[in-house]
């Protein structure tokens, strides 16, 4: 019992420190009080990307919910498409998820829906996976009594289009999605924190600290709780970039060791 309390106390201190480093302007006393409660009740970790502040509110992530289910020894998570409400040709998917906390517990059901109008442009074409994730998140939140909305359940708020630039390219920045430094090539300057700007920030960190781009991508996907970084929401990518920057400044050797843990065998990496 004493060991458990000590671990919770250490996690609480870590969460407070990371939250203040990632979102200094939004860490008011009420927000930090809520963070302490979330830490004590659910054991969520800010450093692992399980919690996120968006517009002054706490949100839990898919990875945070899955790890909680693992810690609580969740018996099963069943997911199935609801075909009568889905339209694959239009990219609209509805999924139903049922969580059984134990072998004989009643199921907690959640539904998730996604279509091109309510997902980030970063994951267009992956609406099926987004709907499945949202369904799982909702069912897990019901099962474990989590009042927070999850990041992945948030709909995409579109930004009014900007006037087209006269030049076809903005600044020749390198794309994070290609290890050969290929150009983003979409004509967007990312002035409002869009994909191009996020890639620029990430590439700058990689160059500044001489990090391995492939390992950074693997770490990013793990941090965001997605299959690849391209599947992560913009907010999660922003959170990862802030975390990477903070880790590189505070303990570069520790960060490099962490990245090396994501290394694959040479034949697996080679295409």
Q: What is the mean pLDDT of each run of 10 residues along the chain (271 residues)?
A: 80 93 91 95 93 92 94 96 95 96 93 90 85 96 94 65 38 36 35 63 83 85 84 85 86 79 56 45
Entry pTM: 0.60
Res 1: pLDDT: 52
Return the number of other C-beta atoms located less than 10 Å from residue 219's C-beta. 22
For residue 52, how many C-alpha atoms fall within 13 Å in the half-sphere facing its CB? 30
Cα-flanking dihedrals φ and ψ of residue 243, to 5°?
Answer: -65, -45
Residues linked to residue 103 through DSSP beta bridges, in sequence order: none
How do the domains of the chain map onto residue ranges?
10-60, 61-158, 195-269
- 61-158 maps to CATH 3.30.160.20: yes
Q: How far is CA 135 from CA 69, 202, 212, in A?
A: 15, 30, 34
């Amino acid at each position: 019992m004493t060991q458990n309390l000590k671990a919770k106390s250490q996690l609480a201190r870590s969460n407070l420190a990371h939250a203040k480093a990632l979102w200094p302007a939004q860490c008011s006393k009420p927000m930090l009080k809520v963070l302490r409660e979330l830490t004590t009740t659910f054991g969520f970790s800010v450093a692992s990307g399980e919690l996120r502040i968006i517009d002054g509110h706490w949100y839990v992530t898919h990875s945070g919910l899955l790890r909680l289910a693992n810690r609580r020894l969740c018996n099963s998570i069943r997911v199935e498409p609801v075909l009568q409400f889905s339209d694959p040709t239009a990219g609209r998917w509805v999924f139903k998820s049922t969580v059984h906390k134990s072998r004989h517990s009643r199921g907690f059901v959640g539904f998730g829906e996604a279509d091109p109008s309510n997902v980030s442009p970063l994951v267009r074409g992956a609406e099926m996976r987004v709907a499945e994730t949202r369904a799982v998140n909702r069912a897990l939140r019901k099962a474990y009594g989590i009042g927070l909305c999850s990041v992945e359940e948030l709909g995409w708020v579109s930004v009014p289009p900007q006037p087209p630039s006269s030049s076809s390219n903005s600044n020749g920045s390198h794309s994070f999605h290609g290890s050969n430094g290929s150009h983003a090539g979409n004509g967007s300057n990312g002035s409002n924190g869009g994909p191009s700007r996020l890639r620029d920030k990430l590439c700058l960190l990689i160059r500044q600290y001489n990090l391995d781009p492939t390992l950074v991508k693997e770490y990013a996907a793990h941090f965001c709780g997605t299959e690849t970084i391209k599947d992560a929401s913009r907010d999660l990518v922003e959170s990862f970039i802030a975390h990477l920057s903070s880790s590189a400044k505070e303990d570069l050797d520790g960060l490099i060791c962490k990245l090396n843990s994501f290394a694959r065998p040479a034949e697996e990496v080679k295409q």
